[in-house]
């Protein structure tokens, strides 16, 4: 179980519109995007909640990707439903509707199997819940979490408590600034590091990502993509590739491992944006992944 | 003269205010920032114009950096004066005043020495003037140009004519979109490439840069900098490092050369933003440059 990743987060139905088309009630949610990506590298167990309306084909689809769904509760009511569209530049999401539905009553409780997972990813949910999950874990060797602007403003104290217990925080650029009240990302990451996480990964969309560890900064560009159809879930897909690779590696305290994790996260998210929902990652072959990874990594080498 | 760079562009006095301080009538202008950076790598000859008020110490300062000023005309009147400030994020410049002064009457005429330079950089000036300069050149082996939103809207046709005769265009991300009416930067670069330049370099500020050549795309992050004081001239400093390295290299049709040029451009611009005007680049030692370059390039290698 040392290399198995437990992910706790949202499982959703997404209705998304971009200039390239639209999709209704497609498979979405942070735990789904993360799992689809991470399972390319390591075994994944998902803990989440759906309603009675959650389509059986979606469950089959996830299981075929070797994602364990024993921890997916079904509650009376409807599945979390997000409806949104993107501006022309596909950078900013405009939320048209958020129906939390059964997700509002989500109380993650872990089985013995779950508690023994070696690696934990706390996707973006209420930091109180994230801490409850962490407290139920036996002795994970690596814990990472994500968060969002909503929790930063509404549950700051709880988030700060959580951070003292995690190894890594994934956060996007604007959230890092909001959280630390510091515009410069190196300074912002230093403030966060002092709160607990040894590693801070700042996600910057098509500007790439930055990793802070042991006083060093690594910047990596995004993989340039010509056909960006839907950016929904790109951040969780990045985290999935990163954590999936890390979970499969013997030692995370190693810059080469961390850089490879960043590169796998970058490449996975570059696939994810090429189609709606988890379609592109769903049909991704190992050889496509490796070939894009190799080419990307070669392009970085000066 | 094969490796000597001729640069034609503005020489200015800049009054700049950022949250870290301000500076009055400091040395500025695209040709100055470019030359200060390029002269770290290759001999540079500058063609520009100043007024009678241009301080002698500024001329001495440039000459000490091995920048030939034989082509710097002095006209009756005052030197081009730009006054601006930056927002908190140091991303967007707000122009408070632009006094073109003698720059309005700038008619670059090249001497025989100038015309024989092997490499030409046409900094951001009226594309009609850029073309006049190019027509005066004997047989440059490499020609690059820059431009800006103003010329893209006002002198589009002249700019398109110029592009058919250059090897490389430096352009920033928003200008590339404005010029091509295409949001995706890969598609935008392809449109530009069809107009003539074999190489397109898109400058993206703290999001790094992208280079397009021979159907390939190279993305490079910016060097993360903790102490950004003044971004004025960062783009020209990038172009200077890029072109300076390229001019010193035997063959520009080589991806490794082009990537090293990008990395030198990136590192030079990272120095430039650390102080006002050309102060930081002015006191830059070869060993500081090489040490930051080596560290940056190592950080990119996965």
Name the H helices within chain A: 30-38, 56-64, 112-115, 127-136, 149-154, 156-163, 173-180, 185-194, 234-247, 255-272, 279-282, 286-300
Please list every residue in chain B whose beta carbon sits closer than 8 Å to the beta carbon of residue A184: 226, 228
In this prediction, residue B87 has a pLDDT band, given cuts at 50, 70 and 90, of confident
pLDDT in tens, B136-188: 999 999 999 999 999 999 999 999 999 999 999 999 999 999 999 999 999 99
Q: Order across the sheet with A93-99: list the strands.
A: A21-28, A12-18, A81-86, A93-99
Adjacent-strand bridge partners of B81: B13, B99
* CB-CB contact of B233 with B279 (8 Å): no
Of A64-73, B90-99, B192-201, B207-216, where does mean pLDDT reach its minimum? Answer: B90-99
Percent of chain B at pLDDT exceeding 90: 96
Question: Each residue of B154-168: pLDDT tens digit?
Answer: 999 999 999 999 999
Q: What is the pLDDT of residue A110?
A: 96
Which helix (H) or strand (E) element contains residue B157? helix B156-163
pLDDT at A269: 98
Q: Work out the pLDDT band at A50, boundaries 50, 70, 90.
A: very high
Distances (CA, A) of A82 to A31, A47, A71, B11, B293: 14, 19, 22, 54, 45
Q: Which residues of B touch A (CB under 8 A)?
A: 88-89, 183-187, 204, 206-208, 210, 216-226, 228, 256, 259-260, 262-263, 297, 299-302
Percent of chain B residues topping a pLDDT of 70 = 100
pLDDT for A224: 97
Task: Map residue A25 onto helix, strand or coil.
Answer: strand
Please state, as a whole number, how many other Cβ atoms lie within 10 Å of the Cβ of residue A35: 32
Compute the nearest-CA separation of A210 from chain B (Å).
9
Q: Which of A186, A187, A208 minimises the CB distance to B208? A: A208
Q: Which of B224, B189, B187, B182 is closest to B203 using CA atoms?
A: B189
Mutate to test the interface with A, among B227, B290, B302 (most CBs of A within 10 A): B302
pLDDT recorded at residue A90? 83
Q: Which residues in chain A are closer than 8 Å to B299, comparing Cβ atoms?
A: 216-219
Query: How far apart are the CA of A187 and the nearest CA of chain B, in angstroms?
Result: 7
Predicted pLDDT of residue B230: 95
- The answer on pLDDT for A4 being more than 90 is yes
What is the average pLDDT value for chain B, to the nearest integer?
96
Tell whether the model's pLDDT for residue B261 goes beyond 90: yes
- Candidates A219, A223, A226, partner chain B, best to mutate (most B CBs within 10 A): A219
Mean pLDDT of chain A: 96
Q: Which of B187, B210, B221 sits opposite A219 (nearest CB)?
A: B221
Number of residues in chain B? 302
ipTM, two decimals, is 0.93
Q: What pTM was computed for the model?
A: 0.95
Taking any CB pair shorter than 8 Å as contact, residues of chain A touching chain B are 88-89, 183-187, 204, 206-208, 210, 216-226, 228, 256, 259-260, 262-263, 297, 299-302
Nearest to B302 among A216, A217, A260 (CB): A260
Whether B9 contacts B45, CB under 8 Å: no
3-class SS shares of chain A: helix, strand, coil, % to 5? 40, 25, 35
Residue B89 has pLDDT above 90, yes or no: no
pLDDT for A16 beyond 90: yes
């Amino acid at each position: 179980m040392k290399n198995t990743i437990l992910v706790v987060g949202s499982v959703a139905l997404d209705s998304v519109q971009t200039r390239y088309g639209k999709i209704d009630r497609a498979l979405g949610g942070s735990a789904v995007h993360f799992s689809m990506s991470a399972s390319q590298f390591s075994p994944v167990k998902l803990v989440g909640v759906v309603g009675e309306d959650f389509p059986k084909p979606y469950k089959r689809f996830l299981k075929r990707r070797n994602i364990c769904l024993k921890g997916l509760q079904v509650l009376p009511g409807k599945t979390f439903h997000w409806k949104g569209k993107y501006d022309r530049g596909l950078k900013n999401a405009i939320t048209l509707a958020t129906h939390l539905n059964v997700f509002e009553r989500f109380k993650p409780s872990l089985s013995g199997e779950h508690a023994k997972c070696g690696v934990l990813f706390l996707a973006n949910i209420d930091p109180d819940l994230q801490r409850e999950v962490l407290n139920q874990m036996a002795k994970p060797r690596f814990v990472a979490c994500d968060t969002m602007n909503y929790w930063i403003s509404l549950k700051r104290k709880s988030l700060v408590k959580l951070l003292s217990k995690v190894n890594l925080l994934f956060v996007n650029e604007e959230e890092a600034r909001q959280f630390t009240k510091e515009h410069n990302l190196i300074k912002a990451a230093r403030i966060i590091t002092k709160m607990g996480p040894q590693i801070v990964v700042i996600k910057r969309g098509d500007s790439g990502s930055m990793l802070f560890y042991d006083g060093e900064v690594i910047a990596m560009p995004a993989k340039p993509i010509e056909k960006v159809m839907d950016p929904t879930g790109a951040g969780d897909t990045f985290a999935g590739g990163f954590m999936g690779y890390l979970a499969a590696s013997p030692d995370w305290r190693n810059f080469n491992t961390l850089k490879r994790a960043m590169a796998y996260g970058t490449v996975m998210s570059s696939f994810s944006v090429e189609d709606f929902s988890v379609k592109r990652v769903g049909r991704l072959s190992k050889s496509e992944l490796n070939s894009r990874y190799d080419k990307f990594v070669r392009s970085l080498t000066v």
